[in-house]
Amino acid sequence: MKNLPLLRLAREHHAPETDQVLAQLFSGVFGAPDHEARTLDLLRRGACDGVASAMWLLGETLLDDGKEEVTAEGVEWLERAAKMGVGMAAMRLAIFYGQDSLQHFDEARQLHWTFRAAEMGVPLAAYQIGLAFEDGEIGDIVDYSSAVHWYEVAAGYGYPLALQRLAYAFRDGELGLVPDRARADELERRAAEFSKLRQRAELEDWLLLAKAGDRDTQKWLSLAYREGFGGLAADLEQAKYWEERADSTG
């Protein structure tokens, strides 16, 4: 199971029950020899009890497994979560149906779930709809007005790519917008700020997983501190600490 992506998804789209689910997962599951099976069991129990965020995380996990025999179940849990208002479940369905290398590719369903996700506040979905309108992929016509609308929706959530696209448009007079250098500069500044915030949040995710006993994350932190990458300054003492933690986790 990909623990870090699950944690990031939970942070990106907070639902009231998500903290409860993650608390259960971190209360002795991560780092255990059979943590994947135990985590899956906890998610399934939560989903069967009607916890929307557990349905979403269970669906994510089953699709990430890549086995065709659990794909249908994964889709079913994601659909149930999306109908209960979990926007990231709708986004995952859009991604699933948009993979043209798979037999499940369905453009109509992809568009449906992308719009649903955007309406439920997922900035990535809003940004992708903006791109589709700009490129003429919806209705086979280029619609700059709709593209700007959806870029602005995504930008309202601080989505860096949407902020950057609008900045370019205002700077160069694209998408039917009147050139406005001051507006472009402000949007670029906001994009840079939100990018830094996202990087800090991702580092917090790594630290949380490492402290919870995830050995792979502990090893990554040891290397990152030793070499000074991933937003971390080189710190040999911290590198040694996380190396020892990883060894003790075994």
CA distance 217 to 223: 10
CB-side exposure of 177: number of CA atoms within 13 Å?
25
Angle at 62 between CA 120 and CA 154, to 5 degrees: 25
* Distance set, CA 2 to CA 68, 174, 195, 201 (Å): 18, 40, 23, 18
Burial of 103 (0-12, 13-18, 19+ CB in 10 A): exposed
Asked if 61 and 1 count as a contact pair (C-beta separation under 8 A), the reply is yes
CA distance 41 to 1: 12
Tokens of 110: 């992809």
What pLDDT was estimated at residue 183? 96
CA distance 197 to 180: 26
Confidence class for position 212, pLDDT limits 50, 70, 90 = low
Residue 179 is given by DSSP the state: P
- Tell whether the torsion through CA atoms of 160, 163, 166 and 167 is positive or negative: negative
Domains of the chain: 1-103 (no CATH), 122-201 (1.25.40), 214-250 (no CATH)
What pLDDT was estimated at residue 143? 96
Residue 78, pLDDT > 90, answer: yes
pTM: 0.73
Tokens of 209: 């997983």
pLDDT tens-place string over residues 134-151: 999 998 899 999 999 999
